[in-house]
Structure 1
Amino acid sequence: MKKVWVSCLLVLSLLLTAGCSNFILYEDSPEPVDSFDGTSMVQEPPALTIVVEEKTIDRAPVNYDWCYSESPGEKMCVETESLPPNELANTEYGDIATSQEATIELSFEEEPDSYIINVWDAQNELIESFNDIHLSMKPGLHIYEINADWEQGEASYFFSVNIQEQ
């Protein structure tokens, strides 16, 4: 009887561990998919380079839902999730310290179809959302989240800026 309970607990713990995973790989749609034309599609979202004044930050996506094909008619999709923005970004000093007049530039490895920018504070409160990046905010730490969309899926990137008082 003890072996049965131990076996049940083992199976339950394995199921819970698998259920709590933050990485999912799944095959979608057994029928051919027209928009996926072979192995030429990239298997991960493009990287992002952020330039503030002359300082550069390189970022890989932290959250994404991305599809690609390994062979014609076969569609593979990957979905990831991450921690909230204030736990991902450098909330002590910021990735970059700069002034309110600084310019900021986003450069994707492959330009997205569209993107939106959310700005968070260190307490994980959304400050504002906009379509074009700028730093015209009050001094302090600001966490930027860039949500970008491509034909293959979507991805989120995070970085933090500590805006200095003038």
Structure 2
Amino acid sequence: MKKKLCLLLCAVLCLFPLGACQGEDLAEGALPQPPGLTVTCGEESVTAALGSFQWEYPQEDGTTVAVVSDAVHPLDREGDLPELAGGSQATLSWDGPAPETVVLCCWPEDAWGDTDREAVEVPVDGDSFPLLAGLHIYEVRAEWPEGQATGSGDASYAFTARGEEGETDVQGPPSLTLVQGEERTEAYRNFLYWEEDGVCVNRTLSAPSGWEVPQLEGGVPVTLEWEREPEEIRLERWPQGVPDEEAQGEDLPWEGSLTPEAGWVYVFYADWEVQDGWGGTGVYAFGAEE
């Protein structure tokens, strides 16, 4: 039904002021759909699968055609997405004009079929990005601004990639000290991906509910002291001691301080933009008890 509605919408858009679907020629250089995307790792490359998109392109007579296409979620496409061979870094290349904005995210292999699973954002440096260790499902969301002769709109693409297993030693992200009254405690520290001196290490972490983390007193405010202040902080909490398959986290607002409740693991995701071969996303955690 959704697909029929999208086709009907496309037909309506084509009938009215935006332009006509049939009987008109493309303007010079115009594309009838978003550019194709190739993902390359070393000597291996795949063509990413085009997903949902909205696209407008000019006709020779000056009118515009709008196309709307809806596709299933990447996590519902098991066995249908191209797979890129292992490596640590990959690049994006476009069969046409590059988009103005690109957002890349991924899910681990066990997320197939779970469209409610939250994705992890992966940093893109120019056209290059790190591959997380093991098999992951990647989604690229791209946007082209209005006014381009080739066309404008937004589109999603999907592919899978198996990043190299194993790690190269890196120091990891800066430390975080938790301050509670006169007590000072170093937070549990890990990372999703980290780059130092051109070496990039990716990790897939289990649910925080089972992590061994320092315990602070519940009901007493906690402030943070960073060895190096991050550019962005996100906060979650997870119930302590719950098996991975049953654990469910929830997002919390971060306003500079936190009063923890007993029975929860609090997790901070701290981002540093990769500059001069240094940066990534650090993960910090602590628990609260009575």
What TM-score do the two structures reach when normalised by structure 1? 0.69
Q: Which runs of 4+ in 1 moved over 6 A?
A: none
Which of 67, 70, 77 aligns to 2:59? It is: 70
Alignment of 1:4-153 (within 5 A): 20-21=3-4, 22-23=6-7, 24-25=9-10, 26-27=13-14, 30=17, 39-40=27-28, 41-88=30-77, 90=79, 95-99=83-87, 102-110=88-96, 111-122=98-109, 123=111, 124=115, 125=117, 126-132=119-125, 133-135=128-130, 137=132, 139-151=133-145, 152-153=152-153
Tell me the SS of whatever aligns to 2:136.
strand
Note the residue ranges of structure 2 that are not aligned, 5 or more in a row. Answer: 20-25, 146-151, 167-290
Q: Among the aligned pairs, what percent are the same residue?
A: 24
Pick 1 or 2: higher relative contact order, CA cutoff 8 A, min separation 6. 1
Instruction: Please give the alpha-carbon distance, in whole angstroms, between the structure 2 residues aligned to 1:27 and 1:58.
Output: 29
Question: In the superposition, relative to structure 1, how do residues 103 and 136 fare at CA in structure 2: closer, same or farther (>3 Å)?
Answer: closer
1:80 Cα deviation (Å)? Answer: 0.9
The answer to whether the 8 Å contact 1:121/1:142 transfers is yes
Asked which structure has the greater CA Rg, the reply is: 2
Query: d(CA) in 2 for partners of 1:31 and 1:65?
Result: 14
Deviation at 1:136, TM superposition (A): 5.2
Q: Name the CA shift for 1:142/1:91 in 2 (closer, same or farther; >3 Å).
A: farther
Contact 1:88–1:158, Cα closer than 8 Å, also in 2 = no
Rate the CA distance shift 1:68–1:121 in 2: closer, same or farther, 3 A: same
Cα offset for 1:59? Answer: 2.8
Q: What SS is found at the alignment partner of 1:73? A: coil
Structure having the larger proportion of residues in helix: 1
Which whole-Å deviations, capped at 9, do the CAs of 1:70-127 have from their partners, x for residues lacking one?
23331110111111111235489x702314xx22111101211221111123414312
Letter in 1 for 2:105: N
Q: CA RMSD in A?
A: 2.9
Query: 2:37, 2:18 → 1: CA distance?
Result: 33
Contact 1:27 1:77 in 2 (8 A): yes
Q: Tell me: CA distance 1:30–1:54, structure 2 relative to 1, closer, same or farther (3 Å).
A: same
Shift in CA distance, 75/48, structure 1 to aligned 2, threshold 3 Å: same
SS of aligned partner of 2:75? helix
Structure 1 unmatched runs, 5+: 1-16, 33-37
Rounded Cα–Cα distance in structure 2 between residues aligned with 1:20 and 1:60: 18
**Residue 27 of structure 1: SS of its match in structure 2?**
helix
